[in-house]
Amino acid sequence: MARVSLTDRFVATIKAKKVHSDFFDSKTAGLGLRVSPAGHKAWSLIFTSPATGKRARLSLGTYPATSLADARALAIEARGKVEAGTDPRTNEAPASTAMTVADLIGSYLTLARGLRSAGEIERRLRFDVLPVIGGIELAKLHRRDVHRVLDRAIERGAPATARRLFTDMRTLVRFGVGRGYLDHDIMSGMKAAAPKVRDRWLNDDEIRLLWHAWPEVVGDEIALALKLALVTGQRIGEVLGITTSEIDLARAVWTLPAERSKNKFSHTIPLTQMALDLIAQAKVIDGRLFRASVVKVAQTITRWRHRLPVTGWTSHDLRRTCCTHMAMLGISPLIIGNVVNHRGTTRATVTLSTYVAYSFDREKREALEMWADRLAGIVGAGAEVLPMRRHRQ
């Protein structure tokens, strides 16, 4: 038995010799990975049963179907139940056990499964709420506990997540009141913090440092996704969802379907040679280029921020960086808006929205080629930086 700081790379590459090997996470109490000589990897949680007082094991799934981040979240949730006096193997608690925040979340998530955003809500509640206040009895829950959750998200540089958590917790509390689990709405009168418009973008030195540090610090898959987001200017969630059916290698075009686009409009992204080279490095499984989720990317950046040479950035800032550098190259706002599918820019007037049917595909490709050449020069890939060219308005 070994206690180590589990990482995605460690879990993916560790092998057992002649007998089963157990590795316990130094960050999440009780979380273990069992590796068989045949290469089978299974997650489990070792805990003391509140019913019998004896050591017990709870299966949490197998790897890679259950990722390290998911296993940690499941372990934290299960430990919250143990602390509340519930055996997570049976979900049965003594009749005298008071209901906790973890129990309330469990009840809420059972009924929220049909919501379109259920998956994201569940991830936030497991990652941000359960570890902080999951073991608190509902009768003792106070609005200061809500602030503890929100402050934790803000402190790690995720104000947008904090705002979503405020909505999640307000819904959770109202659900508890409606079901009679809570006597009153502890969040009545509380207001979410005003959204702060980010203006962070990366300069040349920051781009170069991060480009070369990403593979070593966050792993090859996430590094590849971050680079592709920077090269194309698209949202990290859109990049992570790429499938081979969306890519036309012959035409060097990526077509983002309407159902995956934030504004629900289909969008075509010309692929530069730099983008094609990155795509060629992806390990395609079942047609998908990436397995990581947006949450996993954010968690990984947060977890290893201290090892990165540049701080104070998020994956979405890469999109702003791409737009800013294209503007510095002299590319018009209209073309930049078309590159990143901002209809507030590309359809801002009656003329553009009603009378201009042109797709600006040629101009988008020219803009992205200019940016790719500039980016190659920044990161030291040896490409020549092209002189500024004017694009049609």
What CATH number did the domain enclosing 23 receive? Answer: 3.30.160.390
313 in the same domain as 245: yes
Per the confidence metrics, is the pTM higher than 0.85?
Answer: no
pLDDT of the residue at 212: 96
Runs of H (alpha helix) within the chain:
8-13, 68-83, 101-111, 118-124, 130-133, 143-155, 159-179, 204-218, 220-232, 236-240, 273-281, 294-303, 317-328, 333-339, 343-346, 350, 361-379
The answer to whether residue 12 sits within a structural domain is: yes
Residue 31 in domain: yes
Q: Using an 8 Å Cβ cutoff, are 108 and 118 in contact?
A: no
Examine residue 81 and state whether it is found in any structural domain, yes or no.
yes
Residue pair 297/315 in contact by the 8 Å Cβ criterion: yes
Same domain, 245 and 342: yes
**Whether residues 49 and 170 fall in one domain:** yes
Same domain, 233 and 294: yes
Q: pLDDT digit string (tens) for 71-96?
A: 898 888 888 888 777 788 876 555 44
Q: What is the DSSP string of 262-298?
A: TTS--EEEEPPHHHHHHHHHS--BTTBS----HHHHH
Structural domain of residue 77, as residue ranges? 2-179
Is position 49 within any domain? yes
Are residues 277 and 356 located together in one domain of the fold? yes
Q: Distance of alpha carbon 249 from its chain centroid, rounded? A: 27
* Domain-located, residue 190: no
How confident is the model over 32-70, as pLDDT tens digits?
A: 998 888 788 899 999 888 777 788 889 898 888 889 988
Question: Among 109, 144, 179, which residue terminates a domain?
Answer: 179
Please say if the pLDDT value at position 347 is more than 80: no
Does one domain contain both 234 and 372? yes
CB 125 within 8 A of CB 77: no
Q: What is the pLDDT of residue 376?
A: 95
Question: Which of these three, 145, 179, 213, is where a domain ends?
Answer: 179
Residue 393 covered by a domain: no
Structural domains in the chain (count): 2
Q: Does residue 392 form part of some domain?
A: no
138 in a structural domain: yes
Looking at the fold, whether 105 and 142 belong to one and the same domain comes out as: yes
| 215 upstream amide cis, omega within 30 of 0 | no
Are 174 and 302 in a shared domain? no
